[in-house]
Each structure stands twice: as C-alpha cells, then as structure tokens.
C-alpha cells in the first residue's frame, strides 16, 4: 500500500467515526510535545488484574483428566478511590462485572451490552499499569489499593475544542473541551523522533504515527490518550521533566522559540 493510500484509508475510516484525520493528529501531537512542563500522579487507585480462566475436567473416578488455561488480555480494572473509597465497594464492581459477563455467556444478556457501566472505572494494560502504580501492601492480595509511581510522569495539553483522537485500540477516544491529551514521559523521545521524521520528509505522518493492530485496523502507534475536564488538576501535580525529555521536546518547538525551557519544580 502506498503512503498516500495509507493516509486516505485512515482518513476515510476515521471520518465515519468522527476521528480526526492524520494531518490533524500530527499537528496535535506536535503541539503536545511543545509543552515544557510535566505532571505526576497524586491519587491512589484501586485495581485488579484480570486473571486467566482455568478449566479443569475431572475423571469420574477422581483426579484430573485435563486442565485448560484460557488466556485473558492482561488488563487491570482500575477504580477511582474518591468515588469508591471502600474496598467492599470496589470488590462489588468486580463481582458485578463478572456476574454480567457470565450472563452473556449463558444467553441471559445481550452480547453487546455493558458488563459494567459507571464513572470512575477504566482499564490499563498490565505493562502500563505496573509502571504507573505500585501496590501499597504487596503482601495483601485482597487489598486493591495502589499508589502512583513517582517516575510515571506525563506531558499534557489542554484541548480547546471537542475532539476524537486515534488511540492504540480501534474506535478512537473522545475528549471534551477543556479535557487533556497526555503521553507518558517514557514515550516522549520516540514520539518526538517520529514527528522529526515527518518534518524531515523521511516518513509521512501516517507512516510515523499509525500502525496496524492484530485485527488489521489502523491505530495509533503511540499511547496518547485523553482525560476528562478537571481530572488532570485533581489527580496530578506539576513536576520537573528529565533533561533528555526536554531536549527531545525542544526539537519540535517553532523555529523562533526552539530552546530548552525549565520545567516547574516538584510541588
């Protein structure tokens, strides 16, 4: 597929779902990387790692005949502790989710219905979550509370209009005016390099910023995501970014202002 048709294919599919086009996405990520301050998490969360399903067939006479491990995507169900402060409340969410999932399996519920629907509950990939958070008590399996990893900083940009951005999963992510787009600091050097490749004509924006998932859908190459209005200020504080991050971000500044700036100190 040519780079032109790659861009056209994404733009055509994105338009039907209200997702911004490739050039808009490139411009937005450029603006994001031109921010020179970082943000660090402050709020603890509750979280549960989805386990695999183990199905064991027993012999009539006793003993195991077969044992099958059914893989589940390695995700943490993450829960806002401000909205669900009690461990019992958070456990009820997981029980409700699993009960509704079971109802789908045996035909009691519609397949496309939500297994759980409420504010303050979201998912994170295991690799991302375990970088972002540390368990408060690693010895207590029944305690879901996790504290922010001080190394898991973000670069953020407040939106000035309602937008829907490509993400690493199909479908896009809608962000309301005054919400925030964010990327982890650990990804900023690679993101800035991708933008530099586009600026230098080494790659098109589609080649540099998009990839194909395991189902053949074009999705974002970088884990850039959104927060609803007010979430950033409530859960993060300004922090200093690493010199390597600031140096990379300086390469995306407009020519008249391209210089490394100092980020705010920890609060």
DSSP 159-225: -SS-EEE--SSTT-EEE-TT-EEEEEGGGHHHHHHHHHHHHTTSS-HHHHHEEE-TTS-EEESS--E
SS3 of 4, please? helix
pTM beyond 0.85, yes or no = no
**pLDDT at residue 261, as a whole number:** 45
Q: Are 21 and 9 in contact (CB under 8 A)?
A: no
How much of the chain, in percent, has pLDDT values that exceed 90?
75
In our burial notation (b when 16+ CB lie closer than 10 A, e otherwise), range 28-46 reads bbbebbbbbbbbbbeebbb
**Whole-angstrom distance, CA of residue 24 vs CA of residue 98:** 39
Rounded mean pLDDT of 159-170? 92
Encode pLDDT of 130-147 as tens digits. Answer: 999 999 999 998 899 999
Q: Would you say 13 and 214 are in contact if contact means Cβ atoms under 8 Å apart? A: no
User: At 71, is the secondary structure helix, strand, or coil?
Assistant: coil
What are the beta bridge partners of residue 175? 163
Is the model's pLDDT at 263 over the cut of 50? no
CA distance 215 to 141: 35
């Amino acid at each position: 597929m040519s780079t032109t048709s790659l861009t056209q294919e994404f733009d055509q599919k994105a338009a039907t779902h209200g997702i911004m086009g490739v050039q808009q996405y490139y411009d937005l990520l450029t603006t994001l990387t031109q921010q020179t301050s970082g943000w660090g998490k402050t709020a603890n969360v509750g979280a549960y790692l989805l386990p695999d399903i183990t199905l064991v067939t027993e012999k009539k006479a006793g003993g195991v005949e077969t044992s099958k491990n059914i893989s589940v995507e390695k995700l943490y169900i993450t829960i806002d502790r401000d909205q669900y402060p009690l461990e019992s409340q958070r456990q009820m969410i997981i029980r409700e989710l699993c009960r509704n999932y079971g109802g789908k399996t045996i035909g009691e519920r519609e397949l496309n219905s939500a297994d759980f629907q409420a504010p303050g509950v979201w998912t994170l990939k295991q690799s991302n979550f375990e970088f972002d958070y540390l368990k408060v008590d690693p010895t207590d399996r029944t305690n879901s509370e996790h504290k922010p990893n001080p190394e898991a900083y973000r670069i953020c940009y407040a939106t000035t209009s309602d937008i829907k951005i490509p993400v690493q999963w199909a479908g896009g992510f809608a962000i309301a005016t005054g919400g925030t787009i964010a990327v982890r600091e650990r990804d900023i050097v690679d993101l800035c390099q991708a933008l530099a490749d586009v600026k230098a004509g080494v790659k098109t924006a589609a080649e540099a910023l998009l990839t194909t998932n395991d189902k053949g859908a074009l999705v974002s190459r970088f884990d850039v995501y959104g927060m609803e209005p007010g979430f950033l200020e409530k859960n993060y504080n300004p922090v200093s970014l690493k010199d390597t991050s600031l140096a990379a971000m300086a390469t995306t500044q407009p020519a008249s202002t391209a210089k490394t700036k100092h980020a705010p100190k920890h609060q």
